[in-house]
Amino acid sequence: MLTVMNRMTAPWQLIRLGVKAAGSDTAARVADTNYGVAVNIVLAELERMVAELRDDLRSGQGFAVGSLLKTIHDAARGLRTELALPVDSTWGRALAAQRTQISASNGNRINAGACTLTVAATAIAGDPAKFGAGSE
């Protein structure tokens, strides 16, 4: 199944095998098929990508953060749209946990950026002559 996932345009599309085998998008029916493991694989891949995003944001050297964030968003959206995931199910909780991690990682990054902008604005306000103000 991993070989099939690696050949797909988007790894989350592996879920479609489980949906097709179950004849339904109901998570419980998909889980009862031999392809239920496909959802576990996609969730593990999502978890790996979220960890990579978190590490890239922490290091400040993530050049492909935008692309990675889009891929993560597409995977999460694919899980939500391809499967009817009850919030209280194991898979639903796993997806919610990953979405929380993404939000926390991005929130920390945004807060750090806002602090940097505040410091820069304070520096500008402290010496306006550096930026051409008052040089008339």
What is the predicted pLDDT for the residue at 33?
93
Q: What is the DSSP letter of 26?
A: B
Measured between alpha carbons, how far is residue 66 from residues 39, 69, 70 in Å? 25, 5, 6
Walk along the chain (136 residues) and give the pLDDT tens digit of each residue. 667 666 667 878 888 889 999 999 999 999 999 999 989 999 999 999 889 888 888 887 767 788 888 888 888 888 889 999 898 989 989 988 888 887 776 665 544 444 443 443 444 444 444 444 444 4
What is the predicted pLDDT for the residue at 28?
92
Angle between helices 65-82 and 37-59 (to 10 degrees): 150
Q: Where are the alpha helices (DSSP H) in the chain?
A: 2-7, 15-22, 27-31, 37-59, 65-82, 90-126
Which residues, at least 6 apart from 92, have a Cβ–Cβ distance to it below 8 Å?
27, 85, 86
